[in-house]
A = this chain, B = another copy of it.
Amino acid sequence: MSFQIPSDTTLGRIQRAPENFVSRTDIAFVNRASETDRRSFFKKAFAAAAVGAVAASPALATAAKGDPAILNLPAHTKGLGQPVAAMPYGMPSQYEKNLQRRESPGLTRVGAASVSFCPLQGLFGVITPSGLHFERHHQGWWDIDPTQHRLMINGLVKREMVFTIDELMRMESVSRVHFIECGANSGMEWANVAVPTVQYTHGMLSCSEFTGVPLIKVLEYCGVDLKKGRYILAEGADGSSMTRTIPMEMVESGEVLLTYGQNGEMLRPENGYPLRLIVPGVQGVSSVKYLRRIEVGDKPYAAKDEAVHYVDLMPDGTHRQYTSIQECKSVITTPSGGQKLLTPGFYNITGLAWSGRGKITAVDVSTDGGKNWKSATVQGPVHDKSLTRFNLPWVWDGKGEVLLQSRAVDSTGYVQPSYRTLREKRDDKSIYHNNAIQSWRIDASGEVHNVHVG
């Protein structure tokens, strides 16, 4: 507990709309509105909130004591509420309905081959609620009957076998917290398309407690030939025929899981129910959803999603294939693009850091575009290949421009690079594997914008 709010410092005020505390009318409005309309709506909402907001003040407590309005107790203090199990499966408050995953309009032509982004700006801790996990589908999602679904193991094994989901669930399981990040996350930023909010810049990112069986255990049960069989091909059951090659050393480490559980319950249909391969630290596409087959082979498979997609176009016109580890990266989620600081005062700078190569060991935060850095508090326990929360208390003086940045370091010693460093190697034509430092500019007016610097 590092922080202390000096008793002579006022708490600053921030508007995070539209994610929190939006009235039902506002929700309908936002959902209808186009991106442009939405932004002007935010401004109106901020203005209204600024008028209506109540500041923490000793005066209030005193006023409250003598105020007869306090005796007008709200309904919830006077009557019986809803009974238990009114919702056998509970849902968020009606006041939180605006915290949702959103498709970026026009990103793709078909919603079944598109992305919905996770609202990182409204989340806490490191666990992503399963209902808000980002989506990337190549041919839409399905709710597959688990009693009919099968996993086949074939190729370089002594015994080719078919498993039911129930059988996999009867083996010894492990549970681990891992992030999944799409290889194309922050891809728009390469070409200086500064999308407005962290939901769209970094929202192809989520983190869950996954439960499943280490794939190596099942391969051993099938009598895998580990001498020749140095690669596996993972194949999904949906119409996209998604197949990905994964090197056997990742499988041998025990990290690759035949996963059925996510945050304590079965996977959600959008996330591959009833069976998903989780390949920790590797771009999301390798965590094949609706997994139906694992083939053990002696070389990479060069499948369509490896030869044509998910490759990095380099400055010399060649491309890098099988670049799949998600390198160390971080982003500040509050304050972030689209938010507005309404008053000078105390703020908590918070965000997420992660690395596909191990654990986060440090996160530094700059408020002056990288001239000076301060160590943020890294929230433990830090998991391997997991989102990691950081916090840094900060006082905004409300004068001039602020350039907010975060820079993460992982357990291999790797330091998250600047755009300049990344572009020196890779130019700006890539789509995948952008792990550069993100910058948010806070204007003197308090508005926060996505900018590309350094």
Whether A124 lies near B171 (C-beta < 8 A) is no
Using known A-B contacts A86-B141, A94-B143, A254-B1, determine if residue A7 contacts B221 with beta carbons closer than 8 Å.
yes
Whether A220 lies near B4 (C-beta < 8 A) is yes
Give residues of chain A (314-363) contacting chain B, Cβ–Cβ below 8 Å.
346-348, 350
Question: A397-419 vs B: 1/0 string, CB under 8 Å?
Answer: 00000000000000000000000
Determine the residue in chain B with the shortest Cβ distance to A115.
B84
Q: Among the listed B14, B90, B92, B170, which residue makes an inter-chain contact with A11, where contact means beta carbons less than 8 Å apart?
A: B170
Q: Among the listed B141, B164, B170, B393, which residue makes an inter-chain contact with A347, where contact means beta carbons less than 8 Å apart?
A: B170
Determine the residue in chain B with the shortest Cβ distance to A391.
B172
Q: How far is the CB of A3 from chain B (nearest CB, A)?
A: 4
Q: Which of A127-135, A298-306, A435-443 contacts B (4 or more CB under 8 A)?
A: A127-135
Q: How far is the CB of A51 from chain B (nearest CB, A)?
A: 13
Q: Does A237 contact B (CB under 8 A)?
A: yes
Q: How far is the CB of A47 from chain B (nearest CB, A)?
A: 15
Alpha-carbon gap, A134 to B136, bound state (A): 32
Whether B88 lies near A100 (C-beta < 8 A) is yes
Q: How far is the CB of A396 from chain B (nearest CB, A)?
A: 11
Whether B238 lies near A144 (C-beta < 8 A) is no
Determine the residue in chain B with the shortest Cβ distance to A54.
B164
Give residues of chain A (48-62) contacting chain B, Cβ–Cβ below 8 Å.
52-58, 60-62
Alpha-carbon gap, A218 to B53, bound state (A): 20
Q: Does A20 contact B (CB under 8 A)?
A: yes
Q: A74-B144, A80-B110, A90-B268 are in contact. List 20 more A-B contacts (CB 8 A).
A: A7-B221, A54-B164, A58-B159, A61-B153, A64-B162, A83-B112, A85-B101, A88-B101, A89-B97, A89-B99, A93-B146, A93-B269, A93-B274, A99-B265, A124-B211, A125-B263, A127-B209, A173-B391, A175-B389, A381-B381
Determine the residue in chain B with the shortest Cβ distance to A81.
B140
Q: Among the listed B58, B159, B220, which residue makes an inter-chain contact with A161, where contact means beta carbons less than 8 Å apart?
A: B58
Alpha-carbon gap, A361 to B320, bound state (A): 46
Alpha-carbon gap, A128 to B152, bound state (A): 31
Q: Does A373 contact B (CB under 8 A)?
A: no
Using known A-B contacts A161-B58, A237-B76, determine if residue A172 contacts B381 with beta carbons closer than 8 Å.
no
Whether A125 lies near B209 (C-beta < 8 A) is yes
Determine the residue in chain B with the shortest Cβ distance to A345.
B170
Question: A162-203 vs B: 1/0 string, CB under 8 Å?
Answer: 111111011111110000000000000000000000000000
Alpha-carbon gap, A19 to B44, bound state (A): 47
Alpha-carbon gap, A391 to B136, bound state (A): 33
Alpha-carbon gap, A164 to B263, bound state (A): 30
Within 8 Å CB of A21, what residues of B? 146-147, 165-166
Using known A-B contacts A162-B61, A264-B125, determine if residue A82 contacts B393 with beta carbons closer than 8 Å.
no
Within 8 Å CB of A110, what residues of B? 80, 83
Alpha-carbon gap, A348 to B211, bound state (A): 14
Please name 26 pairs of A and B residues whose Cβ atoms are closer than 8 Å in the assembled complex, sorted by A.
A1-B217, A3-B217, A12-B170, A55-B167, A57-B161, A61-B152, A61-B161, A61-B162, A62-B160, A64-B152, A76-B237, A76-B290, A77-B237, A79-B139, A81-B238, A84-B101, A84-B141, A85-B103, A86-B141, A88-B101, A90-B132, A93-B268, A96-B266, A124-B173, A129-B264, A173-B391
Give the most central of A88, A112, A237, A264: most B CB within 10 Å: A264
Q: Does A122 contact B (CB under 8 A)?
A: yes
